[in-house]
Amino acid sequence: MGADNFLVTGQVVEDVTTKLIQLAVTELPQDTKEALRRAYQQEQDSVGKSQLKTILDNLELAEKTCTPICQDTGFIIYYVKVGSKLEGLDQIEGALRNATIKATKEVPLRPNAVDPFSQSNSGNNTGMHSPYVHWEIVPGNTLEITVLPKGGGSENVSVLEMLNPNQGIAGLKKIVIDTVIKAGAKPCPPTILGIGIGGGADIAVNLAKESLLLPLNQSNPDLKVAKLEKELLEIANQTGIGPMGLGGKTTVLAVKIAYAQRHPASFPVAIIVQCWAARRASAKIYPNGKVEYLSHKVN
């Protein structure tokens, strides 16, 4: 090991990741809680307001009792940023898997990994490509781990459309609003829409899902994208679907867009729908062993 390199041990990764899963499924990040509180204050429909109150009460209770905020604790997805100077990389994937098994038992998580051929549930949230890991190599010697436990109800109304390029942004707006209306109550609104534009089909879907990791209190630094996000949010909230689909102006909490260059013949648009249980948790492990939790306060 070089003098300024860092050997990551599987045990540290396993312990931090187990903690991250527990944090993610029992407590929403501060920015998401604030967005729900703001929506509650602004909602004028009495039924919609009472639904938001129930969601907020549920969040408070889950946090206090350290129990999952929803019975569907999601499909476990990891986003890992690995410092290029890091050593011990071969231990990371196994540690993420072990953490998934441990958290399934200890938190507990609902076993959500089913073999599509045999229909058998592994019982511990692992199996073929489960948990799923996205890798990114970054400069430096830290390891950043994010867990995204993704609920099935909201995932089921997500869409990928390969638009004709001449449909462009106008076509995208129509697809987004059609998706929100067609989804209705199914994704447990208020939702967050992660939208990926361009690239190929896989790139658009990846961008859309990764957008769900962005804090809700940060606006997009690209002004044309921020403008489109705002416009889509306003239109979606005119549908009247409301919290849990029971009416009101809070159908969508936030719209997050990411884009890539597109092929001249394609205009892919992916919309990944996230429910009010918009769970995510991140931590960074430093060379000296220090662990910084990025999404949650940890004493």
Which listed range, 76-84, 92-100, 136-144, 273-281, lies at the site for ligand SF4 (CB under 6 A)? Answer: 273-281
Residues 6+ apart with CB under 8 A from 81: 136, 137, 138, 142, 143, 144
Q: Kindly write out the interface string for residues 64-83 of this chain, putting x where it contacts ligand SF4 by CB under 6 A and - elsewhere.
A: ------x-x-----------
Q: Is residue 195 within 8 Å of residue 256, measured between CB atoms?
A: yes
> Measured from the CB of residue 169, what is the shortest distance to ligand SF4 in angstroms?
28
Our finding on whether 29 is near ligand SF4 (CB under 6 A) is: no
Q: Which two tokens stand for residue 230?
A: 């705002």
Our finding on whether 205 is near ligand SF4 (CB under 6 A) is: no
Our finding on whether 188 is near ligand SF4 (CB under 6 A) is: yes
Instruction: Supply the DSSP string of 119-178, one letter for each residue.
Output: --B-SSS-BTTBSEEEEEEESSS-EEEEEEEE-HHHHTT-EEEEE-GGGHHHHHHHHHHH
Which residue among 10, 88, 111, 153 contacts ligand SF4 (CB under 6 A)? 153
- Nearest CB to ligand SF4, comparing residues 203 and 254: 254
CB nearest ligand SF4: which residue?
151
- Nearest CB to ligand SF4, comparing residues 53 and 263: 53
Helix or strand (DSSP H, E) at 38 = helix 30-42
Our finding on whether 275 is near ligand SF4 (CB under 6 A) is: yes
Which listed range, 27-35, 94-102, 150-158, 247-255, lies at the site for ligand SF4 (CB under 6 A)? Answer: 150-158
Which listed range, 11-19, 20-28, 165-173, 270-278, lies at the site for ligand SF4 (CB under 6 A)? Answer: 270-278
Which residue among 187, 190, 199, 248 contacts ligand SF4 (CB under 6 A)? 187
Q: Report residue 255: phi and psi, to 5°.
A: -120, 130
- Nearest CB to ligand SF4, comparing residues 99 and 244: 244
Residues 111 and 92: their CA atoms lie apart, in Å, by 22
Q: Which two tokens stand for residue 297?
A: 């306060």
Angle, vertex CA 231, rays to CA 229 and CA 236, nearest 5? 95
> Measured from the CB of residue 9, what is the shortest distance to ligand SF4 in angstroms?
33
Residue type, 59: L
Report DSSP state, residue 250: -
User: For binding to ligand SF4 (CB under 6 A), which residues are involved?
Assistant: 70, 72, 151-154, 187-188, 275-277
